[in-house]
Amino acid sequence: MDVYTLLIQLLNGVQYGLLLFLVASGLTLIFGIMGVINLAHGSFYMVGAYMAFAFSSATGSLVAGVVMGLGLSVALGVALEWGLFGRLYQRDHLDQVLLTYGLILVFEEMRSILVDNDVHGVPVPPLLAWSIPLTPTLSYPAYRLFMSAVCLAVAVLLWLLIQRTRLGMMIRAGASNREMVQSLGLNIKLVYRLVFALGVALAALAGMVAAPVSSVYPGMGTHVLIICFVVVVMGGIGSVRGALFAALLIGVVDTFGRVFLPQAAGVMVYLVMAAVLLWRPEGLFRSI
């Protein structure tokens, strides 16, 4: 294999990693800051993808679909936090697992009733429906590069939000000591609600952005859920920066694992996770 092909594989790995980051960032926020184990995170990804499908086929434009979808997913996040998750902060992790597993079933069934059980394609926006030739036989779809750009932009915005804004300060404070923040007179409930809505919106955004290349199909959420947990645990629970590095690491390891060790492609990621956790049991980065 020549150097040029290796570079293309590296590009594949980075691009896959960035997408993983986008899905996992919401999970690490909800898990790390609010302490809720959210198995339904994959369902939010699926909901996003199906909204992209439904709205873009109704309006004919993916951008319009994404805007509508983002609004709805924030609303969904607020409603879920108000109705269900808000009652779980003081409860055992097992109760959270039970609730969020139930939500997976509810979302799958709703998908089946509202849409159907078929596979659907979401067209790539015409503006991005071209490819960049890399070799005489292989070209790279522009949309995939655009996806990576979106993921990078989200990473930067999240970093700015958490490190450089007043809200971010409250989020960080709430993550380290909820009671203290409350006794200082800050509305921690509101902060949590916003964080949860943000987490849902990030997962849904990942689903929407990925829909044109992944297509939408039943059970798509459960596929990403496990790898998301790997990213979160490896990166350090609650650390957005950690999630970014872990996702990139996983993307690259997974890609090169498939190329050089095809027989072990399925376990490479988990071996790396085990190694990282042996080295740093808390994950690559500390919380926030």
Partner 1 sequence: MMRSSRHPLRLAVGALTLFASLALLPAGSAQAQQGKVKVGFMLPYTGTYAALGVAITNGFKLYVAEAGGRLAGREVEYFTVDDESDPAKAPDNASKLIKRDQVDVLVGTVHSGVALAMAKVARDTNTLLIIPNAGAGDLTGPLCAPNIFRTSFTNWQPGYAMGKVAAEQKRKTAVTFTWKYAAGQESVDGFKEGFEAGGGKVIKELSLPFPQVEFQSYLTEIASLKPDLVYVFFAGGGAVKFVKDYAAAGLKASIPLYGAGFLTDGTLKAQGEAAEGLLTTLHYADNLDNPKDRAFRAAYQKAYGAEADVYAVQGYDAAQILAAGLAAVKGDLGKRKELIAAMAAAKIDSPRGPMTLSKAHNPVNDIYLRKVEGGQNKVIGIAVPALADPARGCKM
Shortest distance, position 179 Cβ to partner 1, whole Å? 43
The CA distance from 97 to 200, in Å, is 17
74: exposed, middle or buried (C-beta count within 10 Å: 0-12, 13-18, 19+)?
middle
Rounded Cα–Cα distance for residues 25 and 192 (Å): 16
Q: How many residues does the chain have?
A: 288
By C-beta, is 26 or 251 nearer to partner 1?
251
Interface with partner 1 (CB under 8 A), residue total 44
Q: Contact at 8 Å (CB) between 98 and 109?
A: no
The Cα diameter of the chain in Å comes to: 65
Which of 83, 126, 185, 262 is in the footprint of partner 1 by CB under 8 A?
262
Task: Decide if residue 65 touches partner 1 (CB under 8 A).
Answer: no
Contact 96, 216 (CB under 8 A): no
Q: Footprint of partner 1 on residues 101-120 (CB under 8 A)?
A: 112, 117-120
Judged by CB under 8 A, the residue of 172, 223, 253, 280 near partner 1 is 223
Which residue, 118 or 179, has its beta carbon nearer to partner 1?
118
Does 229 help bind partner 1 (rule: CB under 8 A)?
no
CA distance 143 to 62: 12
Of 70 and 145, nearer to partner 1 (C-beta) is 145
Establish if 258 lies at the interface with partner 1 (CB under 8 A): yes
Residue 37 CB neighbours (<10 A): 20
144-203: which residues touch partner 1 (CB under 8 A)? 144
Q: Which residues bind partner 1 (CB under 8 A)?
A: 1-2, 5, 8-9, 12-13, 15-16, 112, 117-121, 123-124, 131, 133, 135-141, 143-144, 213-215, 217-220, 223, 254-256, 258-259, 262, 265-266
